[in-house]
Structure 1
Amino acid sequence: MTRRLAIIILTAVSLTACTSTPKHPAAKGPASPDFKFNSLAKSDIDMVAEIHQQESLSHLRVLMEKLYRRNPREFKKSGQPNIESAVARVFDSPHNWNFPELHGKKSIESIYLTFQEDYKNDRVLALIAGLACMIITSYNDKTEFFLLDSLDPQKLYNSARNVEIAVWKLGNTRNSQGELFLLSNDAGGGIRNLSFEREFGKIIAEQDSMARVISEKTNRSFVRVVQSLATAVFIPI
């Protein structure tokens, strides 16, 4: 028992030394990342899940800024002084997805607000906050994953289909005056700017890829859904 205790203590000291080793700016070569004890409780799949989720949210952040630049009236509806503060409010501040402008709606319900004619508040906020909340929900409302956590490939797959539906609505749904609720891709001037679709496409790929990874890991298949985008409804997560 004494020998076993000694081994445990020596191991702990060794790991502590790894975490406290100072970085030397003058040292050549790439610096090794800080060791984290919680990494011991993560599998490769856990870390892949975190990366996929972070990438999806990063693309949404880019999209939010781009949508505000094309629709500058929207962030002003939320009382924000500029685009930067409007974006930071969603991605850098604690809020649990509760925004007064959304009337208590989150995830898919928030996305629907974007395309309702009687909605007078920030449509960019409704769309992006709704999509971000939905993506996190597809990861069982977690942003960090450990060995005992499990994910549902169906939720991840469904979220990808919902992003596709949102993209279609963004480019095709119009109000009673025939105007798009939000401007995104620019087809004017003979040059078609599809930068919005490319960012959305990356999110769809991230979610589909993660659905396949989890399906392979857990040997759980998911039901593929086929809908016409013109009549499709958002799928519950």
Structure 2
Amino acid sequence: MDHPLLPIADSRAGRVAGLCLSFGLLLALGGCSGKLDNQSILQERSQAHPGELFQSDVDRMATLAMRNNLASLYRLMHKLYLRNPREWRKSGAPDLATAERRIQQAIEHSQNLPELGGRRDIAALGYALGPDFHGDRVGAYIYALGSMLVTAHGGRTEFYLTDSFNAEFIHNAARNIEKAAWMLRNRTDALGRPLLLSDEISAQGQNLSYAVEFGKMTARLDLLTHMLEERYRRIGVNYAQGLLFMNLLPVQ
């Protein structure tokens, strides 16, 4: 029996927007669009840029975690396409690389996939691995996870001092990643065949590399959740310490 996916956004609030303290100054310094570019996601290390002056330690960690989580998703997509080549051909793309770029662009630019009928996030995930979907399951599955990650982080992939996080939504995203991995392993068609081939344990050997990438994403999200909770807790502790140990200054 499938476990229900958890909500990862507040429908009343929408995306949390921030302009990184001073819009004009940041534009002069190189700006902060709130969106990582594809090249920085695919690279192991990103170049330093002036916008980092406007990031706290947690903002920087959240940005790096998002970059690495999207990179993990793209590795999963590539591996799934290699094991399930019929799927990328359903997209109408002329080759594998074009099919991958299509999904990456849709995630990074908050675009809809026509075959998902406007579905995103957890709604898209259930549909992509459901009996009524007949399109590119790999692309739809990865898109659903990518859009869920972005939504859980307030619609952004880069974070600055004026941005806020909801630790509960990021925690929910981690649990949804775990459930998505379970769905990938266990969803089958009417004949009992896996909808998508992924991890394999057989007489020929073992391939658990998919589980490894899912585990990395979950660990990053959980660590960020704990850091956010600790940061907000420390605000109160630091204030109390200030009152307790504050030395009064002489006035004469």
**TM-score, structure 2 as length reference:** 0.71
Q: Which protein shows a greater Rg?
A: 1
> Is 2:83 the partner of 1:70?
yes
Structure 2: stretches of 5+ with no match in the other structure: 1-24, 30-45, 235-252
Tell me which residue corresponds to 2:104.
Answer: 91
Q: CA distance change for structure 1 residues 35 and 52 in 2, over 3 Å: closer, same or farther?
A: closer
The higher-RCO structure (CA 8 Å, 6+ apart) is: 2
Q: Distance in 1 between matches of 2:121 and 2:97?
A: 22
Task: Tell me the number of residue pairs that the alignment of Structure 1 and Structure 2 aligns.
Answer: 190
Tell me which residue corresponds to 1:44.
Answer: 57
Q: Distance in 2 between matches of 1:95 and 1:141?
A: 10
Hey, which bits of structure 1, 4+ residues long, moved more than 6 A?
none
Q: How does 1:107-146 map to 2 (within 5 A)?
A: 107-146=121-160
Q: Distance in 2 between matches of 1:49 and 1:209?
A: 10
Give the conservation status (yes or no) of the 8 Å contact 2:171–2:221: yes
Structure 1: stretches of 5+ with no match in the other structure: 1-11, 17-32, 221-237
**Aligned mate of 1:61, from 47, 53, 74:** 74
Q: RMSD of the alignment, in Å?
A: 2.1
Cα displacement string for residues 102-127 of structure 1 (whole angstroms, at most 9, x for unaligned residues): 11111111111222112111111111
Q: Distance in 1 between matches of 2:48 and 2:76?
A: 33
Give the conservation status (yes or no) of the 8 Å contact 1:170–1:182: yes
Give the conservation status (yes or no) of the 8 Å contact 2:56–2:160: yes
Give the conservation status (yes or no) of the 8 Å contact 2:105–2:111: no
Q: Distance in 2 between matches of 1:218 and 1:82?
A: 47
CA drift of 1:40 comes to 2.3
Q: CA distance change for structure 1 residues 36 and 196 in 2, over 3 Å: closer, same or farther?
A: closer
**Aligned mate of 1:148, from 138, 147, 162:** 162
Q: CA distance change for structure 1 residues 40 and 103 in 2, over 3 Å: closer, same or farther?
A: same
**TM-score, structure 1 as length reference:** 0.75
Tell me which residue corresponds to 1:79.
Answer: 92
CA drift of 1:34 comes to 6.9
**Aligned mate of 1:165, from 174, 179, 191:** 179
